[in-house]
């Protein structure tokens, strides 16, 4: 009796494009690829074998010359070699992501069950990136992420690195109330903490609940009053649970965003123009200029990039000159603007640091590149755009 794989070769190698003329393009392409696999040293997998049998049975009447052979061979399928075994990988470990930063690495062989689990998991984790090879997810190395990932993957029999297990056990041993009370703002008496707060806000600055909530992430303290979602834009920004906040530009003007930053004592400000939306540079610069003026910010502004001096680029450059947005980067600079992915070298050794970051029309989001790394020093990054960044959607849709 002819084996299924030998029968496949007889069909594909039949002269005068016999199978190609009778089968659909999809089926013929699949059979051609499988024919290449059965003649290789690796052979085919069990799943590929099932697919081959399915296609042969569905096309038995079309391949009339092989009708009887297909019927006989598929009745009791036999193969000339053992199926190729695919290594089932399910690992959780710590590794450097593609930008050299330590991260949790989730690596696994594709399956429909795991696809659904990971798809749901990435929605609740902080900062997840799918590696370029499409096989490993990199997750920020935080206490919350460690607990969430281990709780989800351990029941699925993932091989979890001992270092992660040790971190997990230490974190789970903590008493939430005890830790929280330790870091309540009313219980912190360390001189350096008080010194840092005073240097930030000044002695005479009136401190309202919004500022107290806003600085909790910067100085890592807890408040007795739980944060609420907020009714105003300022409250939403101040009550954030992550460093990054998306603000819908269709609902909130940039003027309102900057007004919130001013009320929260969040200057100096770094503004980032997205390189992927260069066509909007002049329009966004006009919006930024108007927003600054409406918030009484008229000087000590530096835009540290220029466009080719033609067309819209010329208008962009002229507006910078007219508004005198060429202030040298000094410690008292109020607002600076750069292009995404391009931080001027003089930033590195300069003492100036932003208290807040606003990314304009950020399609990809501040996830990677030089501006993303530089912005990580800041605990408030606002993405002002029509919709959330594509980088967030890419993770959510990676398995769809």
Q: What percent of the chain has pLDDT over 70?
A: 91
**Residue 378 buriedness (CB in 10 A; 0-12 / 13-18 / 19+):** middle
| pTM exceeds 0.75 for this model | no
Q: pLDDT tens across 259-284, in order?
A: 999 999 999 999 999 887 778 899 99
* Helical spans, DSSP H, in 158-190: 162-173, 176-182
Cis bond before residue 268 (omega within 30° of 0): yes
**Residue 329 buriedness (CB in 10 A; 0-12 / 13-18 / 19+):** middle
Separation of alpha carbons 64 and 22, rounded Å? 10
Q: Identify the DSSP state of 15.
A: T
User: Which segment, 107-116, 206-215, 237-246, is predicted with the most confidence on average?
Assistant: 237-246
Separation of alpha carbons 135 and 89, rounded Å? 10
Residue 394 confidence (pLDDT) above 50: no
pLDDT of residue 42: 85
Q: What percent of the chain has pLDDT over 90?
A: 52
pLDDT of residue 396: 42
Distance in Å from the first CA to the final CA of the chain: 42
Residue 332 confidence (pLDDT) above 90: yes
Mean pLDDT of 376-390: 86
Separation of alpha carbons 290 and 236, rounded Å? 23
pLDDT-wise least confident of 31-45, 369-383, 386-400: 386-400
Mean pLDDT of 138-161: 93
Q: pLDDT tens across 6-64, in order?
A: 999 999 998 888 888 899 999 999 999 999 998 988 899 888 999 999 999 999 999 99
> Are the CB atoms for 12 and 5 separated by under 8 Å?
no
């Amino acid at each position: 009796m002819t084996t299924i794989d030998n029968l496949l070769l007889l069909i594909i190698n039949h002269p005068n494009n016999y199978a190609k003329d009778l089968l659909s393009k999809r089926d013929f392409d699949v059979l051609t690829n499988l024919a290449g696999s059965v003649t290789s040293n690796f052979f085919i997998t069990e799943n590929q074998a099932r697919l081959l049998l399915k296609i042969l049975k569905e096309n038995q009447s079309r391949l009339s010359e092989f009708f009887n052979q297909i019927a006989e061979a598929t009745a009791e399928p036999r193969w000339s070699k053992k199926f190729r075994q695919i290594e089932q990988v399910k690992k959780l470990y710590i590794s450097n992501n593609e930008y050299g930063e330590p991260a949790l690495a989730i690596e696994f062989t594709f399956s429909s069950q795991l696809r659904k689990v990971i798809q749901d998991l990435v929605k609740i984790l902080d900062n997840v990136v799918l590696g370029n090879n499409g096989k490993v997810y990199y997750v920020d190395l935080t206490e919350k992420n460690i607990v969430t990932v281990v709780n989800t993957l351990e029941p699925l029999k993932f091989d979890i690195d001992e270092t992660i297990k040790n971190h997990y056990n230490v974190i789970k041993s903590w008493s939430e109330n005890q830790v929280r009370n330790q870091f309540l703002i009313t219980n912190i008496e360390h001189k350096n903490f008080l010194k840092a707060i005073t240097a930030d806000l000044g002695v005479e600055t009136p401190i309202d609940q919004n500022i107290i909530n806003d600085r909790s992430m910067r100085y890592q303290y807890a408040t007795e009053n739980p944060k609420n979602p907020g009714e105003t834009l300022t409250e939403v920004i101040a009550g954030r649970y992550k460093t990054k906040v998306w603000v819908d530009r269709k609902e909130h003007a940039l003027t309102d965003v900057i007004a919130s930053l001013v009320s929260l004592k969040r200057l100096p400000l770094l503004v980032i123009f997205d390189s992927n939306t260069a066509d909007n540079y002049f329009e966004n610069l006009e919006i930024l200029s108007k927003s600054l003026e409406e918030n009484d910010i008229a000087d000590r502004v530096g835009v540290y990039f220029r466009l080719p001096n033609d067309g819209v680029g010329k208008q962009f450059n002229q507006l910078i000159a007219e508004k005198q947005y060429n202030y040298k980067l000094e410690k008292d600079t109020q607002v600076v603007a750069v292009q995404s992915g391009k931080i001027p070298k003089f930033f590195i050794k300069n003492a100036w640091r932003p208290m807040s970051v606003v990314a304009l029309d950020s399609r990809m989001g501040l996830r990677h590149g030089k501006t993303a790394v530089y912005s990580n020093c800041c605990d408030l990054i606002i993405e002002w755009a029509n919709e959330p960044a594509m980088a967030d959607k890419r993770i959510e849709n990676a398995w769809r």
